[in-house]
């Protein structure tokens, strides 16, 4: 393992089909095929799945979170136990978010200053401080393979003044994060483009990050309530200015349709809690569109969610049984639905990679959206 960690971090762009990109992110722990969806393992678990199941879906990488893991069990404790990979039994790459979004969305009281963010834990109200340097230290202690800069996220809607202030602070924090990252062979440090939905701010943020120089670039501050139309229009002017030879990561997105449209705009990497969160509440994502398994019409339907899929959760359990489990509040139902959703997301990414490789992405995009529409109409 130590020898593998010395591999250089990098990105290979194999092919483009319009703006859509087929590539590979190279890390010390292995390669990540892009476009890639990263199942969210916020506190060291992809909710409802064993890590062997996550791997079997085709996932090359999972995501963990600095904010949650610093609160419990603590970064120093994880390091003492051998690092996050060993603790959770995941041998592939792990990306860790830096905690900026969670400070905005979860912390009870927060104060943002030049030095960093002071906040109260959403768990017990305890007081904590997170600076760009500490965020990078925590991610190094966790042993993550892709480490995100600390940024300031703001809620939507917001004023232009607030967007300017947060973007400029995030740029200064990016420079400090980059210095704190230092030299970590086989690992990468990503900068985060901020600026709301304002084109001039996004372009200024991207230019500043490119000037600092990172192994990859993320688009943050979207999927916070602005809606798909504004999100995609923001990507239309942001993605093209990011370096073509570096991976591009859209943070916290999203639905299968969001991902399909973002790939069409040149994005390579995604994460979202939606597959497992929706699964726990009885919503399945399939090639036939969304299926609400709670609906009474599924109570006597012995068909699986998708009999042709390789994942057992999609092909071997009837809708009637899943309906019964979810309506009964049974843990197994939540586990199966979450497994089914992660498997579908990963198969969607695989199909997109194949379509880009074969130069038929636009046809695939149209056919997939039509199949979703037709399936939801008929179901």
Which residues are catalytic, by number?
Answer: 97, 271
Residue 246: both structure tokens together? 């570096």
Q: How far apart are CA 16 and CA 172, in angstroms?
A: 33
Residue 187, preceding bond cis, omega within 30 degrees? no
* Beta strand 20-27 pairing with 30-34: antiparallel
End-to-end CA distance of the chain: 48
Question: H or E element: which one contains 376?
Answer: helix 361-378
Q: How far apart are CA 107 and CA 110, in angstroms?
A: 6
- Could you tell me which of 227, 248, 232, 234 has the C-alpha nearest to residue 199? 234
DSSP codes, 244-284: TTS-EEETT---HHHHHHHHTTT--EEEESHHHHHHHTTEE
- Could you tell me which of 291, 224, 225, 287 has the C-alpha nearest to residue 260? 287
- Where does 53-116 show beta strands of DSSP type E? 62-65, 94-97, 110-112
Cβ atoms within 10 A of the Cβ of 250, count?
27
Which residue carries 């600390």 as its tokens? 150
191 neighbors 151 (Cβ within 8 angstroms): no
Q: What is the DSSP letter of 5?
A: G
Residue 186: both structure tokens together? 């086989």
10 neighbors 26 (Cβ within 8 angstroms): yes
Angle at CA 55, nearest 5°, toward 193 and 33?
Answer: 45
Residue 33: both structure tokens together? 């095929």
């Amino acid at each position: 393992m130590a020898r593998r960690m010395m591999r250089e971090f990098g990105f290979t762009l194999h092919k483009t089909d319009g703006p859509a990109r087929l590539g590979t992110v190279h890390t010390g722990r292995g390669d990540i095929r892009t476009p890639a969806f990263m199942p969210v393992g916020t506190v060291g678990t992809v909710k409802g799945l064993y890590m062997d199941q996550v791997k079997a879906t085709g996932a090359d990488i999972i995501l963990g979170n600095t904010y949650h893991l610093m609160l419990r069990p603590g970064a120093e404790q994880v390091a003492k136990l051998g690092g996050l990979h060993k603790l959770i039994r995941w041998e592939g790459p792990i990306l860790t978010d830096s905690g900026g979004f969670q400070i905005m969305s979860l912390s009870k009281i927060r104060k943002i200053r030049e030095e960093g963010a002071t906040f109260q834990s959403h768990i017990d109200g305890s007081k904590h401080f997170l600076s760009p340097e500490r965020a990078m230290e925590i991610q190094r202690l966790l042993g993550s393979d892709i480490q995100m800069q600390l940024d300031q996220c703001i809620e939507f809607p917001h004023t232009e003044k607030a967007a300017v202030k947060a973007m400029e602070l995030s740029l200064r924090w990016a420079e400090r994060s980059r210095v704190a990252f230092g030299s970590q062979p086989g690992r990468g440090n990503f900068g985060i483009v901020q600026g709301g939905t304002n084109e001039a701010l996004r372009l200024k943020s991207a230019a500043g990050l490119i000037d600092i120089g990172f192994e990859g670039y993320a688009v943050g501050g979207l999927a916070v309530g602005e809606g798909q139309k504004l999100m995609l229009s923001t990507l239309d002017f942001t993605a093209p200015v990011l370096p073509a030879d570096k991976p591009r990561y859209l943070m916290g997105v999203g639905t299968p349709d969001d991902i399909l449209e973002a790939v069409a705009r040149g994005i390579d990497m995604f994460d979202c809690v939606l597959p497992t969160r929706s699964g726990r509440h009885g919503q399945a994502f399939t090639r036939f569109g969304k299926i609400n398994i709670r609906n009474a019409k599924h109570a006597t339907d012995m068909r699986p969610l998708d009999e042709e899929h390789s994942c057992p959760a999609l092909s071997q359990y009837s809708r009637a049984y899943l309906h019964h489990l979810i309506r009964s509040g049974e843990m197994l139902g939540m586990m199966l639905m979450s497994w089914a959703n992660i498997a579908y997301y990963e198969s969607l990414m695989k199909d997109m990679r194949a379509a880009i490789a074969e130069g038929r992405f636009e046809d695939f995009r149209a056919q997939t959206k039509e199949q979703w529409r037709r399936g939801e109409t008929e179901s």
